[in-house]
């Protein structure tokens, strides 16, 4: 008997995994709104708008980290340009927000008026439609990833060469987006959003809805990714990672396997970017800077590659440390980040999850 | 996720559908495998040079359908390069290579050649160390190997039976769930032979299959290969003369990229040219 696909997806997580996911969603969808709206502001248990935005933002990063884990941890392909796909998703959704921010329907975004443009460039057509923009959020990163990945993987570009090319790709895109003529607001990018789907973007309710959507998306991505890596596809992918030429002699064509996971990863980044922009309120070309993409790899390395949950932990640990450091000792943050990367690479090749497993094993032996 | 699905499907449409890739790759393969004239593999005047060094020099070799052929020769004789040419890893500078009557191996990619029915076992055991023994066999099993099928793949009962049967044959049924990396060297060799069998190839290329095996394991391997001949064609590269004697088939001696001698083991061993090559002048 073939097991139906829905059942297979459900059984890709064990009961403990589902329990953890359920607790996470209950916290995000019930406890956080209660602490924010129902608990009075002077109470110690009140959750501030700042905290919600911060955690919402980090959940977007965690989503990117899971996407990175699929391609790096399971596919063995280190991308140092994933910030590009994140930014593309963010810009796509930002277009919609800019149209909603205009003084009346059909008005040009403020930066275009400032540049004395008379009409929308062709690629802005349809950007006032929420559905069209959601489509763009998925399709644009997918298309860019597909075209780039097809030629890179077909030419059998691997390892550090691939990483360097992805780095160059995001850098080139950043330079392109810095130009006013490109039509995406130049170095200021998009900001001063007012409405999303006719609701005020700064109202507590909108903020909580965005927060909840991000939590749901993160949970759904974890389930989807777990199913993906436990399917035969996942086993083929890790086998290609470990010995690509052997897989070719068995009859698998690595090109399509790599391209598939590459495009999936890019789309997840695009969705994360689209959720990030309305919560943070700004998107500009610095999101495509090479340093940002390298940081994504650090989250994954810190949490533990090829574990899925590790990158989520890594994204939270590094970013919470970052928001504390940049307030308390702003000048030392980059030193700390560099140190963290060196320590993890040298002492914790399996990241925090690997450390945890090792400790549990030791405890088990001692007991 | 729908947009994604269509992208993936578009990706996959490049390769034909159905469970038997070889038959349906008509636009890529110049016809189906045709063994009707009794020839499985036909290499004609193959030359391969690396930076002026001729690894293969006008090599001619014909393997009959169902034949078990042993290939011997000193280091650097071109044995591995010959296998690289047959499996599509290396393109010859000149000459032609046909699988059956119609399939031009010099025009196909590695996965296409694998689908067409040529399986290869490497000199150094290359198994997937992080995957379990069972999963190694599952990955090798003859089936539709495109992305979409792998995403939805679910082992049917008869496929599980086939894997179990192969596990018993290679005597690894007790190790099925262990990571393959933990096996002994001899067991890894057997696992790789098992993976080769799961592919159901018509032609098996075996590069030093008994290296690192005990005498007992070596003899069992010989018995297995002899039982496979007839239904499959086998090309075995080996140095172990006791093993070759046990296999019993025709022996080809390669030297400096071309065939030096051919015949049964006793004839070849008494050939003065072969003795000279092996013992030095």
pLDDT digits (tens, 9 = 90+) for A11-66: 888 888 899 999 999 999 999 998 988 888 888 888 898 999 999 999 999 999 99
In a mutagenesis test of the B interface, which of A247, A251, A253, A269 is the best target, namely the one with the most B β-carbons within 10 Å?
A: A251
Nearest Cα to Cα of residue A320 among A74, A58, A138, A65: A58
Sheet arrangement for strand B94-99: B53-64, B39-50, B94-99, B103-104
pLDDT at A104: 66
pLDDT at B180: 94
Q: Residue A243 corresponds to which tokens in the numbers above? A: 């010995």
First to last CA, chain A: 42
pLDDT at A367: 57
Separation CA A200–CA A128 (nearest Å): 16
B94-99 vs B250-255, strand pairing mode:
unpaired
Do residue B111 and residue A139 have CB atoms under 8 angstroms apart?
Answer: no
Is residue A294 situated within a structural domain? yes
* Low-confidence residues in chain B, pLDDT < 50: 1-30, 281
B233-237 vs B68-72, strand pairing mode:
parallel
User: What average pLDDT does chain A have?
Assistant: 91
- The CATH number for B172's domain is 3.40.50.300
Q: What is the DSSP string of A235-262?
A: HHHHHHHH-HHHHHHHT--HHHHHHHHH
Residues of B in contact with A146 (CB under 8 A): 7
Residues of A in contact with B14 (CB under 8 A): 256
CB atoms within 10 A of CB B271: 16
Start-end of H helices in A183-253: 204-230, 232-242, 244-250
Residues of B in contact with A259 (CB under 8 A): 11
Do residue B4 and residue A263 have CB atoms under 8 angstroms apart?
Answer: yes
Separation CA A75–CA B38 (nearest Å): 43
Residues of B in contact with A8 (CB under 8 A): 154
Lowest mean pLDDT among A176-190, A211-225, B20-34, B203-217: B20-34
Is residue A8 situated within a structural domain? no
**Min CA distance, A137 vs chain B (Å)?**
11
pLDDT at A2: 63
pLDDT at B3: 45
Q: Pick the more confident residue, A80 or A194.
A: A80
**Min CA distance, B154 vs chain A (Å)?**
6
Separation CA B56–CA B41 (nearest Å): 17
Is residue A245 situated within a structural domain? yes
pTM: 0.86
Separation CA A293–CA A9 (nearest Å): 30
Residues of B in contact with A251 (CB under 8 A): 21, 111, 114-115, 145, 199
Do residue A260 and residue B147 have CB atoms under 8 angstroms apart?
Answer: yes
Q: Residue B43 corresponds to which tokens in the numbers above? A: 């290499």
Packed helices A82-101 and A49-69: angle between N→C axes, nearest 10 degrees = 140
Number of domains in chain B: 1
Do residue B147 and residue A251 have CB atoms under 8 angstroms apart?
Answer: no
Whether the CB-CB separation of B121 and B193 falls below 8 Å is answered with: yes
pLDDT at A40: 86
Number of domains in chain A: 1
**Is B146 an 8 Å CB contact of chain A?**
yes
Give the domain range for residue B218.
Answer: 2-279
Do residue B199 and residue A264 have CB atoms under 8 angstroms apart?
Answer: no
Q: Mean pLDDT over residues A115-141, rounded?
A: 91
Packed helices A351-366 and A290-303: angle between N→C axes, nearest 10 degrees = 10
In a mutagenesis test of the B interface, which of A73, A249, A255, A350 is the best target, namely the one with the most B β-carbons within 10 Å?
A: A249
Do residue A256 and residue B122 have CB atoms under 8 angstroms apart?
Answer: no
Q: Mean pLDDT over residues A225-229, rounded?
A: 94
Neighbouring residues of B14: CB distance < 8 A, sequence distance ≥ 6: A256
Do residue B4 and residue A249 have CB atoms under 8 angstroms apart?
Answer: no
Give me the residue from B7, B114, B150 closest to A232, CB to CB. B150
Q: Residue A252 corresponds to which tokens in the numbers above? A: 């698998």
Nearest Cα to Cα of residue B55 among B89, B81, B94: B81
Residue whose structure tokens are 């990483």: A163
Given pLDDT bands bounded at 50, 70 and 90, which one contains residue A366?
low
Do residue A243 and residue B89 have CB atoms under 8 angstroms apart?
Answer: no
**Min CA distance, A291 vs chain B (Å)?**
29
**Min CA distance, A47 vs chain B (Å)?**
34
Give me the residue from B12, B138, B145 closest to A251, CB to CB. B145
Separation CA A128–CA A108 (nearest Å): 11
Is residue A229 situated within a structural domain? yes
Helix (H) or strand (E) holding B94: strand B94-99
**Min CA distance, B157 vs chain A (Å)?**
8
Q: Mean pLDDT over residues A99-128, rounded?
A: 83
Whether the CB-CB separation of A69 and A229 falls below 8 Å is answered with: no
Do residue A264 and residue B4 have CB atoms under 8 angstroms apart?
Answer: yes
Q: Is A294 strand, coil or helix?
A: helix
Residue whose structure tokens are 């290329």: B205
Q: Residue B229 corresponds to which tokens in the numbers above? A: 């001949």
Is residue A28 situated within a structural domain? no
């Amino acid at each position: 008997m073939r097991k139906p696909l829905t059942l297979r997806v459900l059984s890709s997580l064990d009961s403990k995994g589902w329990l953890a996911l359920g607790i996470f969603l209950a916290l995000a969808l019930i406890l956080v709104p209660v602490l924010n709206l129902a608990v009075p502001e002077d109470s110690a248990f009140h959750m501030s708008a700042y905290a919600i935005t911060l955690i919402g933002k980090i959940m977007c990063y965690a989503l990117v980290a899971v996407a990175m884990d699929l391609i790096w941890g399971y596919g063995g392909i280190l991308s140092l340009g994933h910030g590009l796909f994140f930014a593309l998703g963010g810009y796509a959704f930002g277009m919609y927000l800019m149209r909603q921010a205009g003084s009346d329907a059909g008005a040009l975004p403020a930066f275009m008026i400032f540049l004395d443009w008379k009409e929308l460039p062709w690629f802005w057509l349809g950007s006032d439609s929420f559905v069209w923009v959601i489509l763009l959020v998925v399709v644009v990163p997918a298309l860019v990833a597909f075209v780039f990945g097809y030629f890179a993987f077909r030419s059998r570009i691997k390892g550090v060469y691939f990483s360097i090319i992805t780095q160059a790709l995001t850098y080139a895109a950043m330079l392109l987006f810095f130009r006013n003529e490109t039509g995406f607001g130049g170095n200021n990018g998009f900001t001063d959003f007012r409405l999303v789907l006719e609701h005020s973007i700064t109202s507590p309710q909108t903020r909580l809805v965005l927060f909840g959507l991000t939590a749901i998306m993160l949970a759904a991505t974890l389930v989807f990714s777990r199913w993906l890596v436990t399917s035969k596809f996942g086993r083929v992918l890790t086998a290609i990672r470990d010995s690509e030429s052997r897989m070719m002699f068995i009859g698998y064509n690595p090109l399509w396997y790599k391209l598939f996971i590459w495009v999936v990863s890019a789309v997840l980044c695009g969705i994360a970017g689209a959720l990030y922009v309305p919560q943070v309120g700004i998107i500009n070309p610095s999101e495509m800077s090479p340093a940002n993409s390298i940081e994504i790899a650090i989250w994954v390395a810190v949490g533990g590659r090829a574990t899925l949950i590790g990158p989520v932990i890594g994204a939270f640990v590094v970013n919470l440390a970052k928001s504390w450091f940049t307030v308390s000792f702003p000048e030392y943050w980059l030193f700390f980040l560099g140190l963290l990367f060196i320590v993890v690479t040298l002492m914790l090749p399996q990241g925090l999850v690997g450390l945890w497993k090792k400790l549990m094993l030791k405890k088990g032996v001692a007991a | 996720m729908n947009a994604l699905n269509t992208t993936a499907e578009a990706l996959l449409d490049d390769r034909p559908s159905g469970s038997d890739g070889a038959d349906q790759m008509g636009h890529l393969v110049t016809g189906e495998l045709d063994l009707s004239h009794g020839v499985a593999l036909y290499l004609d005047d193959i030359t391969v040079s690396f930076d002026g060094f001729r690894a293969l020099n006008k090599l001619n070799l014909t393997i009959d359908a169902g034949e078990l052929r042993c290939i011997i020769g000193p280091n650097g004789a071109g044995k591995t390069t010959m296998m690289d040419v047959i499996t599509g890893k290396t393109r010859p500078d000149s000459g032609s290579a046909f699988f059956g009557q119609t399939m031009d191996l010099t025009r196909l990619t590695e996965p296409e050649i694998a689908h067409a029915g040529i399986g290869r076992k490497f000199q150094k055991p290359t198994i997937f160390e992080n995957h379990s023994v069972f999963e190694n066999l599952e990955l090798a099993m003859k089936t539709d190997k495109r992305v979409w099928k792998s995403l939805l793949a679910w082992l049917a009962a008869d496929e599980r039976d086939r894997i179990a049967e192969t596990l018993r044959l290679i005597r690894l049924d007790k190790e099925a769930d262990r990571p393959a990396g933990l096996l002994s060297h001899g067991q890894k060799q057997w696992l790789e032979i098992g993976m080769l069998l799961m592919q159901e190839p018509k032609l098996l290329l075996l590069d030093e299959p008994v290296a690192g095996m005990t005498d007992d394991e070596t003899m069992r391997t010989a018995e297995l290969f002899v039982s496979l001949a007839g239904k499959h064609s086998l090309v075995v590269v080996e140095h172990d003369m006791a093993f070759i004697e046990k296999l019993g088939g025709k022996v080809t001696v390669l030297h400096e990229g071309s065939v030096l001698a051919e015949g049964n083991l006793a004839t070849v061993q008494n050939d003065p040219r072969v003795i000279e090559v092996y013992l030095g002048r």
